Structure formats: C-alpha cells, structure tokens
A and B are shown apart, each in its own frame.
Chain A
C-alpha cells in the first residue's frame, strides 16, 4: 500500500477515535444543564468525564499535527479556508477545557454556574461545527488552481453542511446520554437512559437522511456498506438502551459513529478535499502529500512509538 494511503488511513483513524471519544464528552457537556438538577448531580455528571476528556481531546491535536506533516497542502487549504468556524471551535475548546479545570476551584455558586455555561456552549459549538466541516470536506468546496479555498464562511453553511452539523450534534447527544446512563446510578441514570432512547430515535432519522444524501453525492459501494453498518449499530444501540443494557447501547453508538466516520473517509478517498469548481483542482492523497522520505520517517516514528505511548 502507498504510504500516502497509509497516512490517509491513519488520519482517518485519529478522527474516528476523536469523534467516538470526545463525542460522548461533548454529549455529556451539552446534557449537563438538561439532566442534572442539583449541584451534587452536576458534580456527578462532570466527574464521569473528568478524568478522560483531555485524553480524548489529544486525538484532534494529533490528527491536526499528522495532517500538517503528511499532507501539508491539505492542512494549509483546510485551516486557512475554514477560518472562522475553526476559530470558533478553538475558542469553544479553550473555554470548555478551562471550565473542567477551574470549576471547582472557587466555592461560589455563581462562579460554578458560569463555568457550567462554558461547558454547555463549549460542547455544543464544536459538536455542530465539526459536523458542518466534515460534511463540506466530503461534499467539496470551491478550491482554485492554486489550491486556495475561495469561498467564505457562508459557503459552508449550505443545507448539506448544516445537516451534517445536526447529525453530529444528535449523535453526540445520544452517545453522551448513554455514557451517563452507563456511568451513573440512581435517578439520573434512568433519566439519562430515557432521554437517550428519545434522542436516539431522532438521531436515527437525521443520520439516515444525511448518510443517504452523502452516498448520493459521492458514495461508493464500500462507503454504502459502512453507512448501513452505522445505521444497524445505531438502531441496535437504541434497542439495547430500551432493554436497559447500557453497556451494549454505548457500544452501539460508539460503533455507529466509528462506522459513519469511516464511511465518510472511504467516500472521500482518494481526494482529501475535492474542489467544486474543477475536479483538477481537488486536493488528493498524492498531490497534497509530503515527500515519501518524510512519510517514511513519520511511519517509523508512528510504528515505534505508538505502542509505547499506548502502553
């Protein structure tokens, strides 16, 4: 297999990991004001993701770094093109991260209430905008012959992009609710599970529409297979939640997100950012890639060090 394909796959894996993992902590963050009714419950909700959220966030940092190293043109076009949405995502992630760290540092209800708002909005905004961004990457955006994005922020807010945003929002909400049902006990657990089932039904509808639309725009047989698996996993998850098997339910949404994102990357390949102006302008795994020497070094580093880090 070409090293460019290897790195495309690795970056896909990083994004899949990111969405599966940070997806539930985005969901928990958004559900904080919905599901918790007292300070203790808020503590319980936040403590479920307290030890893991920043580990989850590392995935996106590594994905960004890997994109820069392996596909510098992709990194340059994407980040300078999707400028304002990325800025908003960054601000949200900053505020949210600090909220987790600083919330308990003052014994003051107003202080905590402000950080709770930061957690809510800091989770909501990226949950929507990552979906908008990925839908647009897969659909294609106006890219000129100099590999420059020539649209603006409104270009990204097209119906397909927005539907992508709603899809990730709903998926992460359901995923987060199931995580809470799995990790908590008592009243809040039942509320989380009940909400997950309601959300799950809506999510299934939105996700099926979005994935079908994606398949119609740019899909292949392989991507269709992944989208079907995603739908099956999601429906299975909702059924498991209904049967009060929270563990299986969480695995279901986890797998649904993984299959859906895999399908998106499969549909994207071998492009990394298709151009809607002229297919010749599209960034691909070959014309956006670093040299094979750099990719070789990066591959060795990844092969040698990833197992050490994971241990």
Chain B
C-alpha cells in the first residue's frame, strides 16, 4: 500500500476513534454516577416514605433514561469499530483484548438492559424495595462494564500477562489475573469511577440548583430541590476529593510505566530534579520553545514520584532511551520529527484542563454546600451560570482526561508493542473510512442536538407531582397499554 494512502487512512481512523469514543464517554459517566444517586433517592423513599424522594427519583430517572439511550446506542459502534478500522490491532491483541470486551458484553449489558427494563416497567409490578434494588443492580452492571473495559485499556497502557508468539505474530494471553489486576488498572478504575460519581453528582447538583433558584419553580418544591442540591453537592465534593487522590496515585504509576506521558504532560524536555509544575505556558506551536510560564517549584516531582525532590525524566532523555530499547520508531515517519514523543501541546493542555476543571467543580460543590447551609437559598445571575455549567464541566474534564491518556500513549497503540500506525485496517480504503467518519460524526451531531433539546425540555418542566405508585399486591389495576409510553 502506498505510503501516502496509509497515512491518510491512519489519520481518518484516529479521528473517528477520537470523535466517537469521546462522544460515547460524555454519556457514560452520567449513567454510572446518576444510577447510584437515583437508586439512593429511591432507597430513601422506600425507607422514609417521604414524597420528595420519589418525585426526585422519577424526575432524575427521566433525565437518566434520555442520557442512557444515547450511551447504549453509541456503545454498539465502540464494540464494532475495532474490527472495522483497527483490524490489525484486533488480530494482534484479540487473544487478550477480546476477552474483557466479551465478558463486559455478557455480564454488564445483560445486567443493565434486563434490570433497567424491570425498573422502567416494574413500578406497578414489583415490591418497592425490590424495585429500588433493580436500579442498584443497574449501577453494579455499569461498574462491571467499566471495570472490564478499563482493564482492556490499562493493558494497552501497560501490557502484562502475555507473551509474543513469533509463529502467529500476535500477543497471546498467559495470565488472565495479571491483566485483570494490572497495576495501571488498580489506579485507573478508581480514578475513572470517582470521576463518574463526580459527573453524576454535578449533574444532579446543577439541575437541582437551577430549579431551586428559578423564579418559576413553585415555592412548595424548593425544599425538595434543595435536598437534591445538598445530596448532589456532597457526592460531587467527596467524589472530587477521591478523583484528586486517585489521580495522584495514577500519576505515580504512570510515571513508572509510561514516563514519557508524564514528561509530555508537563512538556518537560530535559530531566529535572526537583521538577516544577507550570500552571500556564505560552510557547511555540510545537511546544518545544517556551516564551512565558508560571511555575510552581517541586510540584511535578511530587505528582510524579511522591517526593518533592524526586527526579522527573525529560522528553529528550526518554526519547534516547526508547530509541535504544525499541530501535528506530516504526511510527517515526508519521510522527516526525518527535519520534516516540506525543503531540506535546495537546498532552500539556489536556492535562491541565482535566485537573483545573475537576478542581473547579469540586470547589463549586463545596461553595454551594456552604451557601445553602441551614436552609439558605442564594440568588443572582452568577449562580444561574454556575448551575448551568456544573453538569457540563465534569463532562469536559472527563474528555480531556481521556484525550490526555490516549494521545499521551502515542505513537503506541499498545505501549512498547504495537504502534498506532501498524494497528489500522490494511484492507479498508480511504473512501470507506471517510464515509464512516463523516456519517457517524453528522449522525452524532444530530443526536446531540436532539438529546440536549429533550434534556432541556424535561429539566424546565421540573419534577412531576407526587403520585402514589400502585400497590403491586393488588395486581394491575388498569388495562391501559404499558404505563411507560413509547
């Protein structure tokens, strides 16, 4: 295949992967985080019998389902695109990567779809505690789903438990437990899941806060929204602290197994001891020349090594090291001139945006807890803007985090084993790949407009009046078509 063409195909395939995966992961954390909060609301209703908890359950349940639908349908593409655009990757790693993906499908999809179905259609058929349990099981399903897919991703960051078989030309699994308990996975899963709780919490917080301070909201309902604000804020704050803590652990493991990614996160060209962390830098476009920078001494050393005086290796030294270990970079012709080096401005800024937005959201949650203490209700335009931004900012932070970790792994698809350039499907034409990326991007854009429109509509409407759910012991009371109107 001509060189030029393979480059184009690689670009297109990478853009598609980036677009559809980031898009998919906008919805997933909301699903994971919100399923727990909704299950919590419903559990509180079952235990206290207070109307407000059931109203909150149903209100956020509706928003949850709108969001869940997009997460599910875009998940289908995720599973198929490895074979479609990355067939050589699939051949090379299928023996290892396929298993967690398939187990995810078997366990998590069945659990999620079955129990969410029971939850949607079971209001008048299941005892209340059992109905609430369904949502908890959905939540467990989403966590399992996350665990297996993150184990697969962690293997790409730090391949373990395998051997390269020269006869078949592929990586083959030798130790499944090593893959499941990869040390990268041990920090990635907690980091991702706490980020999901933070995202779900901030969603509930933002929506409830907006409804609480909105003029149109009936005064009788403000106390209910206030409850959701307090719960959402508490979840966001606690989860936010968890994100920071696990992120710190993750940084240290990352420095150990992928030192280049940490160097790229800081645009640290030469090894420093101790290394400073820059909050903000203006440099040349390729990131190699620095014009202006605000630096905090020793912080990078701490993030990377746990010690304020630790040594952090720089991009130039690592590049020489990698060249010696892996030979000339097979992807060098594509990534020239920075062989073995990710695109530095992207890793630098996504790392900062991820952390900055995360801290901002956790801080905002803390602030809101403070200003709503002892039944106070704040007012003013600034608060409205904060409320509107809260559901969105964690989503952006999640996206930046994934862009950082995936772009920071480049030029590797599987670190140290397979470059992204060699992972792409050799048999797919540029025309086919272009058709695919354009079709999916346009489709996803339309879906985003529809989804946001629906969300806004249902948020504006607020929680419905309390209706006592029918007692399942009395059996179905009406013969109207199923209550959940399709």
Q: Chain A: residues with CB nearer than 8 A to chain B? A: 43-44, 46-47, 50-52, 54-55, 57-58, 61-62, 64-66, 68-70, 72-73, 75-81, 83-84, 86-87, 90-91, 93-95, 97-98, 100-106, 146-150, 152, 290-291, 293-294, 297-298, 301-302, 305-306, 309
Contacts and interface: CB of A to CB of B under 8 A. Distances in A.
30 contacts: A47-B486, A50-B484, A50-B486, A51-B117, A61-B75, A64-B83, A66-B102, A68-B79, A68-B83, A68-B98, A70-B98, A72-B91, A72-B94, A76-B90, A78-B83, A84-B436, A87-B435, A90-B80, A91-B439, A95-B443, A101-B486, A102-B450, A105-B457, A148-B427, A290-B95, A297-B176, A301-B106, A302-B106, A305-B106, A309-B107
Interface stretch (B64-72, B236-244, B311-319, B363-371): B64-72
A6 B422 CA distance: 32
B172 interface: yes
Interface string B77-97: 101101111011011011111
Contacts of A290: 94-95, 98-99, 173
Given A50-B484, A105-B454, A309-B110, A61 B76 contact: yes
Contacts of A306: 106
The 8 closest A-B pairs by CB, nearest first: A72-B94, A79-B83, A69-B98, A65-B102, A80-B87, A65-B105, A68-B98, A69-B102
Contacts of A66: 102, 105-106
B103 interface: yes
B80 A64 contact: yes
Contacts of B440: 87, 91
B436 A87 contact: yes
Given A66-B102, A75-B90, A94-B447, 16 more contacts: A44-B481, A50-B486, A51-B482, A64-B105, A69-B99, A76-B94, A79-B82, A81-B427, A83-B436, A87-B84, A87-B435, A98-B69, A98-B447, A102-B69, A148-B427, A294-B98
Contacts of B77: 90, 94
B486 A103 contact: yes
Given A68-B94, A83-B432, A291-B173, A62 B486 contact: no
Contacts of B457: 105-106
Interface in B439-486: 439-440, 443, 447, 450, 454, 457-458, 481-482, 484-486
B83 A47 contact: no
Contacts of B96: 294
Contacts of A43: 481, 485-486
B199 to A, nearest CB: 21
A79 B80 contact: yes
Contacts of B372: none
Given A86-B84, A105-B66, A291-B172, A75 B439 contact: no
A46 B98 contact: no
A82 B281 CA distance: 47
Contacts of A309: 106-107, 110-111, 114
Nearest to A40: B481
Contacts of B450: 98, 102
B223 interface: no
A40 B70 CA distance: 26
B4 to A, nearest CB: 20
Interface string B104-144: 11110111011001001100000000000000000000000
